[in-house]
Chain A
Amino acid sequence: MSKEIIAAAQSHLHGVDLQLISQGAEALVFKTNTHPYLPTYIKPSDIQNTTNYIIKYRPFKPYRHPVLDKQLTKSRTASEAKLLSRLYTLGVPAPKLIATDAPNGIIWMECLGYDLENNGGVSSLKNWLWMLEKQFEQEQDPEKKRHNIALGDEVKSVMELVGKAVGHLHLQDIVHGDLTSSNIILVKDEENNNQPTLIDFGLSSYSSLVEDKSVDLYVLERALTSTHPMYSQQYNDWLLDGYEQVHRENKAMKKHAEIVRRLKDVRMRGRKRSMLG
């Protein structure tokens, strides 16, 4: 099945090398060395990585009516592309839009992140935390063992920045919809510090509802609990600190109080408010 989908993607992407990096229910994500329209001697502006690009492809879903499928594919691709462009003008860190082929369900975007050392994989927050957690567990030197690197200052500052990034999004009334530690990518800034960037806005939407924002935070909290069970409490506390900070800076503490209050309710009942579905 996967082979056929990749062949379908290739048929819309003439002469483009495709390397599958992830496959979800909604879309396939490829990495490529080819820019959709620029010759190699022209470098795209304000894009760091000019040797790799990401292609997100929403394939045809055979279980849907073909007419409906076309409409859904096109509108979801279009709204994700529009959102990426909007995030760029708002200055919220996110992959930059490079090209769109909405009728065929294709978005080209900037390739973010770097490879972690010792085959740790791409620099998602999940892989990075796993790497640090493993480093601490395997540490033999008792001196170093006294300080847990997985709970060190760098992790604290990264988690706060994640909270800030989510806060920025929410202050613009945008909810991510699928916050997990693998949908957060670390990018090195000029001073070689890790800066978290949110990716995969496929389930994002505009909402000013307290409920939707609380659910966003709750989903991330649950994702952290399941992928980093030992440390999730501390990670989440730091994250919420950052989330609070950005609301304070933007004089939105009233909103913040409502969201945090609602988050407690959501924790009690789970992310679905109604008992249906």
Chain B
Amino acid sequence: MTTNYRLLDINQFPSYKVFATVFTDVKNTDEIKSHLIKGDRQYDFAFINAENILSFEQLYSALYKALLDDTNDRKKSKTLHTELIFDLAPQKNIMECLNKFGISSHSSNLLVIKIIKSQQNYITDPQEEEKVPVWEDVFDQLNQNIDGEVVSLNDETFKNFANLNTIKKNFKLGNTFTENTDKLNRQLISVTQLKGI
């Protein structure tokens, strides 16, 4: 397995497969966004502005929330990918969440996620196997469409790309903002866990 991407597991939701990768110095964000708006199948991913993400834990927290709401049939947006972005953000308006936390003209560091739900739970059906994509191919395709450089995904990557000013502004933290990233991280996780309840 290469380090170009990672596959994440959420213990409680074994029927979902999550693919994650990060690109830096992305130059064609507007192009990606226009494909995304057109609903191009090749762009069926969650494109997240990495400036808003402080840690792996924060990403996992939002994945959990999105999968939980999908399981409970309580998704607020159309797809799992938009739901993930929506759950990262504190705003109630979905468009506002997508603009601030998704892809935009000035987001050059992109976290890219793909979530796949297999129809049958826990049972490995040979026919199911075919529906699960070859992740290597998924990555290659993505890599062709993104004019940027792939970096390996770990907690350090998140820390490097996170922008505390953007976080303070987008999460509307005001005087509850703290430079202590451990404490800040917990606040961001709470925002996700309390989203929409």
Binding site for B on A (CB under 8 A): 13-16, 34-39, 42, 44-46, 74, 77-78, 81-82, 85, 88-89, 96-104
Name the residue on A nearest B74 (C-beta).
A103
List A contacts of B68 (CB < 8 A). Answer: 101
A104 touches B72 (CB 8 A): yes
Query: B195 to nearest A CB, angstroms?
Result: 9
A45 touches B55 (CB 8 A): yes
Q: Which residue of A lies closest to B54 (CB)?
A: A45
Which residues 150-197 of B sit at the A interface, judged by CB distance below 8 A?
155, 176, 181-183, 185-187, 189-190, 193-194, 197
8 Å CB contact of A15 from B12, B64, B74, B189: B12
- Contacting pair B194 A82 (CB below 8 A): yes
Q: Is the CB of A44 within 8 A of B187?
A: no
**In the assembled complex, which residues on chain B have CB atoms less than 8 Å from the CB atom of A37?**
10-12, 60-61, 63-64
- For residue B191, which residue of chain A has the nearest CB? A85
> In the bound complex, do residue A102 and residue B197 qualify as a contact, i.e. CB atoms below 8 Å apart?
yes
**How long is the Cα–Cα vector from A15 to B13 in the complex, in angstroms?**
9
A46 neighbours in B (Cβ, 8 Å): 182-183, 185-186
Q: Are A45 and B57 in contact (CB under 8 A)?
A: yes
Q: Which residue of chain B has its CB nearest to the CB of A47?
A: B186
Q: Which residues of A contact B14 (CB under 8 A)?
A: 14-15
B1-34 Cβ-contact flags toward A at 8 Å (1 or 0): 0000000111111100000000000000000000
Return the chain B residue nearest A43 by Cβ.
B57
Query: Considering the chains assembled together, what is the distance between the CA atoms of A101 and B187 in angstroms?
Result: 18
Closest to B173 in A: A89
